[in-house]
Each structure stands twice: as structure tokens, then as C-alpha cells.
Amino acid sequence: MKSNRRAFLQQSLTGAAGLGIASTLHAKAAEVPDGAAPEITAEVDVLVVGGGTAGTIAAIQAGRAGAKVLLLERGSQLGGTMTTGGVAFPGLFDAWGKQIIAGIGWELVKESVELDSGSLPDFSKVPQRHWQHQVYINQFLYAILAEEKCGKAGVEIAYYEFPQAVTKTSGGWQVDCTGFGTRRRVNCKQIIDCTGGAEVVGLLGLPRLREEERQPGSYLYMMGEAHEPGRNQIHRLYVHGADSTNSRTVTAANLTGRKSILEQVRAKKKRLMHLQPETGFRESFRIEGETVITVNDYRSGRKFEDAVCNAFYPVDLHTKNGVKPEPLKRGIVPTIPLRALIPKGSRNLMVAGRSVSSDRLANSGLRVQASSMAMGQAAGAAAALAAKGGTTPLELPLKEIHDLLRTHGAILPGDV
Ligand SMILES: Cc1cc2nc3c(=O)[nH]c(=O)nc-3n(C[C@H](O)[C@H](O)[C@H](O)COP(=O)(O)OP(=O)(O)OC[C@H]3O[C@@H](n4cnc5c(N)ncnc54)[C@H](O)[C@@H]3O)c2cc1C
């Protein structure tokens, strides 16, 4: 019996065609409570919708602050544009020789670089070009580390699910969600919309802003040479007209991107070595918040009185002819106010990430990953405090939000 098994193993390792086959490791899937039930109900303090750049950090922060958190992500992994989109070079955490964004996002970025034996930029030096201080991360490792950090913070992750209906209740919200083969009713006190397109805000019929013509999306791939995650940039194809509004428009962008890459492979006769699963979208809906950040606020580094984090990046609008980043003037560090994360007139609802309330040009600089993470952490802290205090984020004493953020490593405007 034993020798038969050895023979089988040897055969499967050698393979019929004589090719080596890697050996198989084993892991056991966790038991899912009510795994076979077609419908379940969840009672949580904070529901984060969208487990991308901002949402992952929002969920971890709210969980670490003691809130019961559910993180809903329609895809199959965390990280959003950073991982699924392949834009695995977050920036900018520093400005003018100092680190100005830290906290949970930085912790995750730093750990993923260290585990991958990568290197971090020297923030004490001002780079000649802004992109020289973007951090190369291994997108695969980042996504798994993010799951580990969610687990440790007590955050429950629900992949393949998205909200279909949102109703106001006396205690907050009832959110009806759908996944394949399952439905979930979530009763929660606070919602943080981190979908990148303010989709929950849209479901509620609250105002959203969007341009007639949006910046192109990009499909990321690698042709002709190997892609080494966390080490090199990958090839990019502009997908003009890419629109992340819904599953039909995203399908159209993905089909266009992949078809063009196939044409490139045929034309250049090179091997396709790496292909992201989705187009990366630069621009879609932004909210109209209690405050709208203008490009003048951004360029002048306005210090909002309710600022909850810093931001730093050139004004960076991509057009059909490419991009010409407009660097900020020396010493300028823009800030993001709490009111830009709150849809106008709403309660118990926040937004973080690229749909932050801002005009188009301000948004072209604010949307980047370090600022999205900082916004996520601020929203997570405010939502957790509001859920605990039975209030809405805008009615919290600002100092409470700042204190909680500093406890969790964040750098606030004026701290450095
Ligand atoms: C091609 C490209 C290049 C860029 N270059 C840089 C760069 O060099 N440096 C930099 O820092 N930034 C860069 N950016 C900008 C930056 O990556 C994004 O603006 C930022 O990651 C957006 O973060 P987010 O959390 O708002 O959205 P995302 O990271 O996109 O996350 C949104 C998440 O929500 C999920 N979701 C959406 N709708 C639903 C729903 N209804 N229900 C459940 N889940 C949902 C999505 O699946 C996704 O995981 C670039 C962006 C692009 C596209």
C-alpha cells in the first residue's frame, strides 16, 4: 500500500510529459456559521462598504477602536485599486523631508515591504520627482496581510457581496446585501462608503458629482519580461472612456483593455507575463459633502479647522494626451477636513477614498493611496466613536477623533 502511494506521488511529481509539478500543500477552510443558510442577519456597529485602499484601513481602525465591524467587498480580495487594479506603488507618505501620513495604512505598507525584503524611500530627503518616493509593494502579499490585520482587529470580511437597498432606521441603517447564493440583512449604526464611486451615497439618492468626460482608466499588464511584484513598474494601457459606474460599464472597460493587450501580444510577438484581473479607474463619482475641497484650498495648503489628515501629491489630471503633474509649491501640505467625508445633510454616513468631496482638480491630487488610507483611518475612528456614543460623526468633539487617531499612529495636520 505504502509503496503504491509512493509510486503514485512520484508519477504525479514527474508528470506524463516529464515536466516537474510542484508538490501540493494542504489547508482547511474555516467553518462558516450558517454556511448553508440562503439568508442571514448581521448586527454590527460599523458597516464598511468597499475593501479597497481606504476601506481596509477604515475597517481595521474601527475594529481596533472596539467597534463590531463588517467589511463588504464585491471582489475576491482586499486592496482595491492597489491590488486588483495593480497600482501597487502607494504614495505619498512624505512631504518636504518629513513623513506627513502614517498610521494603519503606513503600518500595512511598511510590513508588506519588510516581509518582501523590499526597500522604503528615505523620507528625510526631498526627491527631485514626486514618484521617486512612491513605495513599491508586492500586491499579493499586501492583500493577504490586510486580511490578517482585519482578522486581528475582529473585522468580519464578506467577499462577493454588495448592498442593494439601504433604509434609515431609528438606530442607524438597515442594509440589504446580495452575494452569489446568499443574502444578508445588516443592521448597523454607521456606514462608511469606500466604494470609490460613492455607491451607497448613490443608493440613498444623495447628490454625487461626476464629469462628462473622466480621466482614462489604465489596464496594467506585463509583456516580454517577467513582472517581479514589489520591484518593478508594469506596463499600462490607457482605457479611454473607462467608467466604473456599474457592472456593465466595468465589463466594457475590461473587455476593451484585454482585447487591446491581445492585439499587442500578436503585433509584438512577445509573451504575456502578467495581467491584472481588472481595469484601474482614476475617476468616477465624488460626493457633495458638508465641505467641498477646491483646487485653491489644495494648492494653498489650506488648514481646515476640522482637518483630520494631511494629503500630498501634485495636481495630477490625466487626459487623452497624457498627464503633466503640477507639483505643489515648496512647503505646501494640503489637509482634508472631516466635513469633506460627510455627504451633505446626512447623518451616520461617511465616505473615504477617491470619492472625497472635492472639485475635479483638487480630486486629481487627493485621490492617491496614502491620502485615501489616511481618510479611511479618520472615517473609521469617527464612525467607531459615533457608534459608541450613540451620535453622528459631525457631532463628536473633534479632539476625541484626533486623540483616537494619534493613539493609532496617525499624523495630524500640525503634528510635524
Ligand atoms: C492607473 C492608476 C494609476 C494610479 N497611480 C497612482 C500612484 O502612482 N500612486 C498613488 O498613490 N495612487 C495612484 N492612483 C490612485 C489610487 O490608486 C486610487 O485613487 C485609490 O487607490 C482609490 O482608493 P479607494 O479606496 O477610493 O478605491 P479602491 O481602492 O478602488 O477601492 C474600492 C473598493 O470598493 C469595492 N467596491 C466598489 N463598489 C462596491 C460595492 N457596491 N459593494 C462592495 N464593494 C464595492 C471595489 O471592489 C474596491 O475593492 C492611481 C490610480 C489608477 C487607476
Centroid of ligand 1 to alpha carbon of 281 (angstroms): 7
Ligand 1 contact via 283 beta carbon (within 6 Å): no
Q: What is the mean pLDDT of residues 217-223?
A: 98
Centroid of ligand 1 to alpha carbon of 50 (angstroms): 10
- Report percent pLDDT > 90 for the chain: 91
Closest ligand 1 atom to residue 367 Cα is: 19
What is the SS3 assignment for 385?
A: helix
Centroid of ligand 1 to alpha carbon of 283 (angstroms): 9
| Phi, psi dihedrals of residue 307, rounded to the nearest 5° | -60, 140
Its pTM stands at: 0.95
Per-residue model confidence (pLDDT) at position 164 = 97
pLDDT interval class at 33 (50, 70, 90): confident
Per-residue model confidence (pLDDT) at position 38 = 87
Ligand 1 contact via 54 beta carbon (within 6 Å): yes
Q: What is the mean pLDDT of residues 24-50?
A: 94
pLDDT interval class at 4 (50, 70, 90): low
Per-residue model confidence (pLDDT) at position 233 = 86
How many other CB atoms are there within 10 angstroms of residue 28's CB atom? 5
Centroid of ligand 1 to alpha carbon of 268 (angstroms): 30
Q: How many angstroms separate the CA atoms of 390 and 376, rounded?
A: 21
What residue owns the CA closest to ligand 1's atom 8?
Answer: 89
| Residue that is written with C-alpha cell 438606530 in the block | 171
The strand pair at 98-99 and 39-49 is best described as: unpaired
What residue owns the CA closest to ligand 1's atom 49?
Answer: 80
**pLDDT tens profile 136-162:** 999 999 999 999 999 999 999 999 999
**pLDDT tens profile 254-300:** 999 999 999 999 999 999 999 999 999 999 999 999 999 999 999 99
Ligand 1 contact via 78 beta carbon (within 6 Å): no
- Judge if the upstream peptide bond of residue 92 is cis by omega within 30 degrees of 0: yes
User: What are the strands, taking DSSP E only, across 232-327?
Assistant: 235-239, 272-275, 286-287, 307-310, 318-319, 322-323
What is the SS3 assignment for 303?
A: coil
How many other CB atoms are there within 10 angstroms of residue 360's CB atom? 16
What residue owns the CA closest to ligand 1's atom 41?
Answer: 162
What is the SS3 assignment for 386?
A: helix
| Residue that is written with C-alpha cell 495636481 in the block | 315
- DSSP for residue 372: H
Per-residue model confidence (pLDDT) at position 36 = 85
Ligand 1 contact via 196 beta carbon (within 6 Å): yes
Q: How many angstroms separate the CA atoms of 231 and 261, rounded?
A: 22
Task: Indicate left, alpha or beta for 66 from its phi (over 0: left) and psi (-120 to 50: alpha).
Answer: left
User: What are the strands, taking DSSP E only, across 149-271?
Assistant: 156-159, 162-169, 172-179, 182-193, 208-209, 217-223, 235-239
Ligand 1 contact via 343 beta carbon (within 6 Å): no
Ligand 1 contact via 91 beta carbon (within 6 Å): yes
Closest ligand 1 atom to residue 200 Cα is: 41
CB 370, CB 101: distance < 8 Å: yes
The strand pair at 307-310 and 335-337 is best described as: antiparallel
- The pLDDT of residue 54 is above 70: yes
Q: How many angstroms separate the CA atoms of 70 and 42, rounded?
A: 9
pLDDT interval class at 19 (50, 70, 90): low
Candidates 415, 383, 416; CA nearest to 401 is 383
What residue owns the CA closest to ligand 1's atom 37?
Answer: 195
Q: How many angstroms separate the CA atoms of 283 and 367, rounded?
A: 9
CA atoms within 13 A on the CB side of 339: 9
- The pLDDT of residue 22 is above 80: no
Ligand 1 contact via 162 beta carbon (within 6 Å): yes
CB 286, CB 356: distance < 8 Å: yes
- The pLDDT of residue 337 is above 60: yes
CB 400, CB 382: distance < 8 Å: no
Ligand 1 contact via 133 beta carbon (within 6 Å): no
- The pLDDT of residue 75 is above 90: yes
Ligand 1 contact via 72 beta carbon (within 6 Å): yes
Candidates 283, 176, 274; CA nearest to 225 is 274
Centroid of ligand 1 to alpha carbon of 34 (angstroms): 32
**pLDDT tens profile 181-202:** 999 999 999 999 999 999 999 9
State the burial class of residue 203 (Cβ atoms within 10 Å of its Cβ: 0-12, 13-18, 19+): middle
**pLDDT tens profile 291-331:** 999 999 999 999 999 999 999 999 999 998 899 999 999 99
